[in-house]
Structure 1
Amino acid sequence: MCHTPREHQHTEWEDPHGDSTPLLSSTQSKSWRVLLPPIRYVVVILGLLGCMVDYLVRFGLSVAIVSMVVDTGSPNTSLPLPDGACPAALNNTQHDSVSGEGTFDWTVEQQGIILGIFFWGYFITKMTGGRISEMVGPWQTMAVSLGVSGVLSLLCPFAAHLHPMALASVRLLMGLVQGPSFPALYSVLARWAPPDELATMVTIAYSGMSCGSLVAMGTSGWIIEHLGWEWVFYGGGILSLLWTPLWLAFVRNSPKNHPFVTPQEFSLLSLNIHVKPKRHVPWSRLLRCWRFLPCIMAEFASSWVTTLTTTEGPTFLNAQIGMSLDEVGSVLTVGQTLTWFAAFIYGRTSDLLTKNGILSKINTRRLMHTIGMVLVVLGLCGLAWAGCDKWMVAVLLIVVMVGCPSTLCSFTLAPMDIAPNYAGTLSGLLGLGNVSGFLAPVITAQLITHAGCWTAPLLLCAGLYLAVGLVYITTLTTEVQDWNDYDEIPSTHDNLNV
């Protein structure tokens, strides 16, 4: 069960990760303070760029494989052509078939393994990555995660020429090392975001995911055409290695003793001094805190929608509606662009509502999730019954995509709301919901095969998102739980609440 919240214990924090050593002399530090914006803004911008680079490295293969193999086969068009497909789709089947011009004669099964094995490694380490980052240090963990990912991205072309399973092995390692990156960023932001800027900073940082997808779609085609598919991997790897030293130079685990923080900014962030990593996790208390379970369920539903729109969306638009591949690319580019801007709007609106006392924190979380839920559910239902009007379908799909980032202001903030000292651990546990990334494509394919159309998977997704959203809205809490200060709870108090 969740226990009665306690007041924070505002004690001085001696950083256990040894990251507070100034880089510059006091004179140099003062000159840098004049040149730099507030350091928390530098942290969030570098977080955004880190998320963008993470997605570029992660999804580069999905774009490059079209030009790597002789025939891309079915991994990108794995769903069967529905019996109820629109006439335009039936007419365009031959016209829009994709055939690669590469030299790798890989089977469909080999391509499927290469494309999917990353997410098995990612799923494994994301769950534990939050705790790893709290013990090692989130600043250090994220630097290692993206730095090593960059090196592995540079090795992908060599591995591909060596053997398809060599490339699969590199992708598995990439998934394993990237798993802790996002939970680590949670832990960093928990210490650098003032309470009235939390939602804004989180949404800006994690909007890098949409930015990365947008950059990948907008540049990969040009890169492949003019430089070759290898440079999709080289580009992502080089950007990762350029980002890493900037992160190491300008970010720390805590504002305390950061060489560039002004006294004014440190005073603003002084409320976060109590946020510190704990040596032990109160697992029994955490697991009995049933109000966190709907957050995992919400992540499951959100991941399902994201998989359906971004992974299966191109197949739906092409195979069901009959859009050309150029039209599909335009729709997804517009959708990702609007999603990126929507994330900023959700975050800033959320902070303004709480800062000005218009709504309480808990009701602001409810409002943001409700807005997104309405857009997603109505958009999915509209897609199910929109027929073959391709531009109406395009608008409805974009509506769904724009509704998705509202979750960055709802259950995504739960780790920081209820247990900021364990934000990394809890954000890793949210990753349990990502199992829907494996289930959604399989179930969607089965439903289309048996029903002969996309209506059933779209309505299933809408019903799942609505049901889970209602559970989350009615059960959420934003109160800091007493086990957040587990190390300070006296043994007698601990025994009374077991």
Structure 2
Amino acid sequence: MSNTEGGGIQRIRNALSCRQVLNLLTMLGFMLNYALRVNLTIAIVDMVRPNVTETNSTSVVNGTNSTSSGSLSPDGVDVYEERFPWDSYQTNFVLGCFFWGYILTELPGGRLAELIGGRRVFGHSMLWASLLTLITPMAAHINYVVLIIVRVVLGFMLGASWPAIHPVAAVWIPPMERSKFMSNMMASSLGAAITMPVCGYLISVAGWASVFYLTGAVGLLWSICWFTFVYETPATHPRITAEERREIEEAIGTSTSKKRPSHVPWGDLLCSPAVWAIIICHGLAVFGFFTVVNQLPTFMSQILHFKIKENGLFSSLPYLGKYLMAVASSYLADYLRQKGTLGTTATRKVFTAFALVIPGLLMIVQVYLGYDATWSVTIFSLALFFHGAVTAGYLGNGLDIAPNFSGTIFGLANTLSSFGGFLSTWMVGALTYHDKSFHQWQIVFWILAATYIAGALVFVAIGSGELQPWNNPPERKKISDVTQEEGVPLKNEK
């Protein structure tokens, strides 16, 4: 590399603070996190053989009938790709099995990030998930069961990524800036908004397998950047300025221990109403969100009869709105807290209620107007737009009440929500297995309305933004320390 090129890179590095680099890569990381997850929700519409009779050739692959179908690309080239004879139950099973692995690493991932650092846990979860995404088409061609195994392991890897980012924020982000940082998690919605139309276009020109190759490759590139430019703490970062490091460490103070606590005060944590407010609210809210994420493309295909490219385009609109609201509400929340207009507790409750009650009411509207394509797209877009305000509400609340154990708290909350994710796919599959009418989807919308509103009520009733006394538990003494204090000689002492 020439001196000119090296100087140019150095100038770019100097133009961004370490926190800005962290924010940028975290935002891109969560975009890719959902791209690796939702690529299947759009691809599966084209992967599965339609129920109608088509003029396709049928072959036998691994003992099951598969269909080789052709689509015409804009260049006039036929794209032939295998399609699979999965029914509604099997299709939803493939979508839902992701959560089998996802649920196993939520709590361990959060605690592991508290012990060894969120940078390593978040980075490795994304790296291995990207590699698994690249082999997903091969797994589908080999066997239905092999595809399920790959999706379960993919969920296992990505399950650790969400709670891992809380310990990163605990050591890098000052308390009054954490709402803005947590809005980076909602970049997952932006990732979905981009992935949906891109997937739709790729499928039409290169077949459904292309979406897995693209998202997997981009994920690998991001992983390289993450491990190159992000460090565990400000103290270990080689490029951070003394001014930025001092600013971060003084703002965080003693709320986050420099020495990571060796044990979790489980008794105090599990008896805390503030913790249960986060867990219950998150579980109910994400149940609704996962239902939309996994089922919106299917609903648009079955009920609104969109073509695959239209499906991807219109499916992306709600996610884009959610991200815009997440950023706007987070900046507003931090501004109100910095000015003293609202305390932390009031801020979290107000924004949580706003983010969940309005989508709940909109799901009721969807029951009556969702059969119309224009109304349906509008309602879903508005519902997820308002839901984006959770970043200023309960989503980062664990950092308020116990930053030292924010990964563990979010891991607990996301474990419950993972049960909800699998339950949502099972629920839709069961309700639409024999009857795919709009009437069956109305039942789904009623359930979503109830869960959204219930989540808001729970958090408003028992949520808190106050730092909990058990955030800094006393370290457990080793046996050697106790014996020395009591004057008892150690085994090897003479």
> Given the superposition, is the C-alpha separation of residues 329 and 158 from structure 1 closer, same or farther in structure 2, using an over 3 Å criterion?
closer
1:440 has 2:424 as partner: yes
SS in 1 for 2:239: coil
SS in 2 for 1:358: coil
CA contact (8 A) 2:197 2:313 kept: no
1:393 has 2:376 as partner: yes
1:143 has 2:123 as partner: yes
1:308 has 2:291 as partner: yes
Deviation at 1:68, TM superposition (A): 4.0
Task: Find the counterpart in structure 1 of residue 452 from structure 2.
Answer: 465
Letter in 1 for 2:450: G
Task: Find the counterpart in structure 2 of residue 237 from structure 1.
Answer: 216
CA contact (8 A) 2:326 2:390 kept: no
Structure 1 window deviating more from structure 2 (375-384 vs 414-423): it is 375-384
1:278 has 2:261 as partner: yes
Partners of 1:460 and 1:167 in 2: CA distance: 30
Partners of 2:240 and 2:153 in 1: CA distance: 36
> Given the superposition, is the C-alpha separation of residues 140 and 162 from structure 1 closer, same or farther in structure 2, using an over 3 Å criterion?
same
Deviation at 1:468, TM superposition (A): 2.6
Partners of 2:409 and 2:232 in 1: CA distance: 18
CA contact (8 A) 2:402 2:468 kept: yes
CA contact (8 A) 1:67 1:101 kept: no
> Given the superposition, is the C-alpha separation of residues 307 and 171 from structure 1 closer, same or farther in structure 2, using an over 3 Å criterion?
closer
Deviation at 1:73, TM superposition (A): 5.9
Per-residue CA deviations over 1:379-425 (Å, capped at 9, x if unaligned) read 11211233644423332222111121111221111211111011111
SS in 2 for 1:411: coil
- Equivalent of 2:236, from 248, 252, 257? 257
CA contact (8 A) 2:200 2:309 kept: no
Letter in 2 for 1:54: N
Deviation at 1:357, TM superposition (A): 1.4
> Given the superposition, is the C-alpha separation of residues 333 and 160 from structure 1 closer, same or farther in structure 2, using an over 3 Å criterion?
closer
SS in 2 for 1:486: coil
Partners of 1:311 and 1:284 in 2: CA distance: 36
Deviation at 1:215, TM superposition (A): 1.7
Partners of 1:102 and 1:146 in 2: CA distance: 28
Give the gaps of 5 or more residues in structure 1: 1-27, 75-99, 492-498
CA contact (8 A) 2:200 2:308 kept: no
SS in 2 for 1:103: strand
CA contact (8 A) 1:299 1:434 kept: no
Partners of 1:456 and 1:110 in 2: CA distance: 21
Partners of 1:46 and 1:465 in 2: CA distance: 31
Task: Find the counterpart in structure 2 of residue 5 from structure 1.
Answer: none
Per-residue CA deviations over 1:96-150 (Å, capped at 9, x if unaligned) read xxxx963254543654443332221011111321012222321111111111112
Letter in 1 for 2:374: W
> Given the superposition, is the C-alpha separation of residues 111 and 178 from structure 1 closer, same or farther in structure 2, using an over 3 Å criterion?
same
SS in 1 for 2:452: helix
Task: Find the counterpart in structure 2 of residue 55 from structure 1.
Answer: 34
> Given the superposition, is the C-alpha separation of residues 62 and 390 from structure 1 closer, same or farther in structure 2, using an over 3 Å criterion?
closer
Task: Find the counterpart in structure 2 of residue 383 from structure 1.
Answer: 366
SS in 1 for 2:395: helix
Deviation at 1:286, TM superposition (A): 1.0
Deviation at 1:331, TM superposition (A): 3.2
Structure 1 window deviating more from structure 2 (110-119 vs 40-49): it is 110-119
CA contact (8 A) 1:121 1:175 kept: yes
Task: Find the counterpart in structure 2 of residue 157 from structure 1.
Answer: 137
1:223 has 2:202 as partner: yes
SS in 1 for 2:234: coil
- Equivalent of 1:210, from 186, 189, 206? 189
1:134 has 2:121 as partner: no
Q: Which TM-score applies when normalising by structure 2? A: 0.81
CA contact (8 A) 1:124 1:179 kept: yes
SS in 2 for 1:284: helix
- Equivalent of 1:402, from 362, 366, 385? 385
Deviation at 1:478, TM superposition (A): 1.1
Task: Find the counterpart in structure 1 of residue 102 from structure 2.
Answer: 122
Between structures 1 and 2, the one with greater strand share? 2
Deviation at 1:180, TM superposition (A): 0.7
Deviation at 1:273, TM superposition (A): 5.6
1:296 has 2:279 as partner: yes
Per-residue CA deviations over 1:416-468 (Å, capped at 9, x if unaligned) read 11110111111101111332212234445666769944444323322332233
SS in 2 for 1:234: helix
CA contact (8 A) 2:273 2:462 kept: no
Structure 1 window deviating more from structure 2 (451-460 vs 155-164): it is 451-460
Partners of 2:448 and 2:84 in 1: CA distance: 36
> Given the superposition, is the C-alpha separation of residues 466 and 347 from structure 1 closer, same or farther in structure 2, using an over 3 Å criterion?
same
Letter in 1 for 2:272: C
CA contact (8 A) 1:106 1:164 kept: no
Partners of 2:218 and 2:305 in 1: CA distance: 36
Q: Which TM-score applies when normalising by structure 1? A: 0.80
CA contact (8 A) 2:357 2:456 kept: no
> Given the superposition, is the C-alpha separation of residues 238 and 180 from structure 1 closer, same or farther in structure 2, using an over 3 Å criterion?
same
Query: Number of residues paired by the alignment?
Result: 437
CA contact (8 A) 1:33 1:260 kept: no
Structure 1 window deviating more from structure 2 (315-324 vs 126-135): it is 315-324
Deviation at 1:317, TM superposition (A): 4.4
Letter in 1 for 2:25: L
CA contact (8 A) 2:281 2:455 kept: yes
> Given the superposition, is the C-alpha separation of residues 114 and 190 from structure 1 closer, same or farther in structure 2, using an over 3 Å criterion?
same
CA contact (8 A) 2:198 2:312 kept: no
Deviation at 1:227, TM superposition (A): 3.5
Structure possessing the higher relative contact order (Cα contacts under 8 Å, 6 or more residues apart): 1
Deviation at 1:321, TM superposition (A): 5.4
CA contact (8 A) 2:170 2:399 kept: yes
Deviation at 1:243, TM superposition (A): 1.0
CA contact (8 A) 2:281 2:456 kept: yes
> Given the superposition, is the C-alpha separation of residues 362 and 241 from structure 1 closer, same or farther in structure 2, using an over 3 Å criterion?
same
